[in-house]
A and B are shown apart, each in its own frame.
Chain A
Amino acid sequence: GESVGLHLPTLSVQEGDNSIINCAYSNSASDYFIWYKQESGKGPQFIIDIRSNMDKRQGQRVTVLLNKTVKHLSLQIAATQPGDSAVYFCAENLADSSYKLIFGSGTRLLVRP
């Protein structure tokens, strides 16, 4: 595949377990955050987003938690499946009317069958 071979932190979970992927963002002025999933050979794919006026948002099998006090974001995946194996990135956007997304370094999720 087209993995760029990043030396990423890796989270290994058993199929069916819940996964929690963490991200520390850099700018306290950021007001919008997105989690992306990148499978080998593909571009990043949107999973879920959250605005800074919220601390939790739920999607299908995924939940994002935002703690602005410590500038921390987490992605929880319920009942992890083999198809969830990928690299996960958080991205932040400054509240400056631009649409620049600044990406974190990513976490590789491996799902054991």
Chain B
Amino acid sequence: DAGVIQSPRHEVTEMGQEVTLRCKPISGHDYLFWYRQTMMRGLELLIYFNNNVPIDDSGMPEDRFSAKMPNASFSTLKIQPSEPRDSAVYFCASSLSSREAFFGQGTRLTVV
């Protein structure tokens, strides 16, 4: 298995634009997590899904952020409109009914 796959690896966008980050979890995993990593706040859990259903989105910073998981092999994290303070590395992780999460390589988002 290729592991958790995220795209794009890098994204530079202008303030106000919509940004969509994509994630393909490891096949067969039933949990999917979205994390954000910044200098100030470290690694923060934004939202997680179990069997494609959002379980806890309490970490989503505000209404500009939304996440979907239309099927077991794909998830998106969308920011609309984006702001400079959203600049961070966003990680997707998946796990198989366990607490050991496998992380993707991350997407570095820069909002200018």
- A-side residues, CB < 8 A to B, are 2, 4-7, 32, 34, 36, 41-46, 49, 89, 93, 98-106
Contacts and interface: CB of A to CB of B under 8 A. Distances in A.
Interface of B: 4, 31, 33, 35, 37-39, 42-45, 48, 50, 55-56, 88-89, 91, 93, 95, 98-106, 108
A98 B57 CA distance: 13
Given A4-B37, A7-B39, A100-B56, A49 B108 contact: no
Contacts of A105: 42
Tell me the interface secondary structure of chain A in the complex.
loop
B44 to A, nearest CB: 8
Contact of B105 (A42, A46, A93): A42
A102 B99 contact: no
Contacts of A6: 39, 42
A34 B101 CA distance: 10
Given A2-B108, A99-B48, 9 more contacts: A4-B38, A4-B89, A43-B4, A43-B91, A44-B91, A99-B50, A99-B95, A99-B98, A99-B99
A105 B88 CA distance: 15
